[in-house]
Amino acid sequence: MDPETQLIEGVAQGNERDFEELFRRYQARLGSFFLQRTRDRHATEELVQETMLVVWERASSFNSSSRPSSWIFGIGYRKYLEWYRRNSKSNQLYRSEAEQDPEELPRESKNEVSEQIGRETLSEQVRQALGELSEEHRAVIDLTFQQGLSYGEIARILGTQPGTVKSRMFYAKERLKEILIRRGMKGDELWQISRGV
């Protein structure tokens, strides 16, 4: 049996240590997932807490035929949608991390700083471009590339079919490419993005 499935079974029986371990494993992953959408550290922390509270309360409803990550991210995605409906101020969704934490700038040599700034600028351009995509398209990109989930798992999270996820991914990539080209990105920068820079 998968170790995370065992943890969820322990949580279903009220085992607090199993819950703490599950929380430890998912805190950063969920945090990344939420922060990318909300651009708000406080909201991110709240969403992680709310998601894991549901995991604690509903662990007995987990169907062990699916992966724990699919189940937990499904809960998280629904929590995010609730948050989004309450706070649909789209101009605040994709602010840069530098705006949120200016004191956290790296302290490195000039070359390293220059390279870091280049990567951050590229990342910021991608982040802004992602902000122009629909939520459906952003979700499939994030769940695929950031969370490493399969189309089948994403389909379960989003409540749709794997074919629909594939179609959304295709259109998301095409739309993202159009936006980045419109913003003046050239082939070399697009190649860096495709390598995950």
Give pLDDT, residue 63. 87
Give me 185's structure tokens: 């990105």
SS3 sequence of 155-188: HHHHCCCHHHHHHHHHHHHHHHHHHHHHCCCCHH
Domains of the chain: 3-90 (1.10.1740.10), 109-194 (1.10.10.10)
Q: Show the DSSP H helices in the chain as ranges.
A: 3-12, 16-38, 41-58, 68-86, 97-100, 110-131, 135-141, 151-158, 162-182, 187-194
- For the chain, which residues score pLDDT lower than 70? 88-123, 186-197
Residue 68 has a pLDDT of 93
